[in-house]
Amino acid sequence: MSHVTMHSFVSKLGLLPRVTQHSTHTYPSITYSHVTHSLSLTLSHNHTFILSYSTSHTTTHSYPLHSPISTPNSQNHIHLTLQPPSSPTPKPPSKLFPRHEAYILEARRLQKKYSPQIHIIIAFEAEFIRPSYAPLVQALFDASPHVDYFIGSVHHVHSIPIDYDKATYAAAVAAAGGSEERLYEDYYDLQYDMLRALKPRIVGHFDLIRLMSEDPGRDVRQWKGVWEKIRRNLEYAAEIGAWLECNSAALRKGLDEPYPGRIISEEWLKLGGKFTMSDDSHGIAQVATNYSRALTFLESLGVKHVWTFERKNHPEAGETTKAELIESGVPLSEFRRNFS
């Protein structure tokens, strides 16, 4: 199972990621994967992406993100997600909503078409630029019986992108009062607002704020106020039963550890928190990138399972009412077989 979650940002909804590769690739059977944006290809290339999975060995489990696993007599799972490329300038809703709706319909069509080969779960990534976005996100989720869940993420602080480039990150620092410590505090406060307002099933790239930081590997416990906010957010996420991504995109972008880093991950595990795998891919070439390194990271933390969703009564469910999602744990040792 793997999930190519059909991601739609609320603010950047419908911006199509650039895809530089359209040839058919065969990947190890991706057991499950939640935050994959690779379905964000133009519609004419969706089959290429799906075939990348359907030609690989079948697998039993599907978890948030693209993680390869191979188990006999089982089923591939993909989460279809439309995820636009990073952009400092969001598109207007008049441009975004029609694309969102079109991708949801296309994902549902593919979900039914390929159900004998792949277990496809449809979701979107909910952008939370400010608290006023919460009703819009909830309305998007409620509007379609085809959408199984959404991922809650923060990419902006003071309405400024914090993961686009150094210039916009510097602007966000300035807007926060001129210090990175204050920007981190504001980021985690906005994330807390998102968690309380949306109660997402999955929290996207928990510590994305460190990507453009002057010191991405800093021990955030040195900033007492920041660390208190991080712990507060983790405790609330655990309370509502949310999962965190182990997001390998951080490695692809040059960081030494996935999102979240070791210190936060250790705190999350103390709370009994669960991880789901995520490659955060924006194209076929990025599917399952750095999963071996991410799994090594999880193994070093003592993690034994990663988690995924399965749709009950798949693929019939989802025509008029939302499908029931079942949580499924995949042994890390089994998942690791494709990364020897």
Average pLDDT, the chain: 77
Domain membership flag for residue 96: yes
The predicted pLDDT at position 135 comes to: 92
User: What is the number of domains present in the chain?
Assistant: 1
Per the structure, the complete domain to which residue 107 belongs is given by 30-339
Q: How confident is the model at residue 202 (pLDDT cuts 50, 70, 90)?
A: very high
Per-residue pLDDT tens over the stretch 114-150:
888 888 888 888 889 999 989 989 998 999 999 999 9
Domain membership flag for residue 116: yes
Domain membership flag for residue 299: yes
Domain membership flag for residue 333: yes
pLDDT at 250 over 60: yes
Domain membership flag for residue 274: yes
Radius of gyration, alpha carbons of the chain: 18
Rounded to the nearest angstrom, the gap between the alpha carbon of residue 165 and the centroid of all alpha carbons in its chain is: 20
Domain membership flag for residue 310: yes
Domain membership flag for residue 21: no
Domain membership flag for residue 1: no
Q: How confident is the model at residue 209 (pLDDT cuts 50, 70, 90)?
A: very high
pTM: 0.81
Q: Beta strand pairing status for 160-161 and 202-203?
A: unpaired
Specify the DSSP element, H or E, that contains 109. Answer: helix 93-113
Most confident among 14-28, 54-68, 272-286 (mean pLDDT): 272-286
Q: Decide which of 198 and 31 is more confident.
A: 198
CATH classification of the domain holding 321: 3.20.20.140
Please return the burial class of 293, using the count of CB atoms within 10 Å of its CB with bins 0-12, 13-18 and 19+.
middle
DSSP per-residue letters across 254-296? T-SS-BS-HHHHHHHHHTT--EEEE---SSGGGTTTTHHHHHH
Per-residue DSSP letter, 92: P
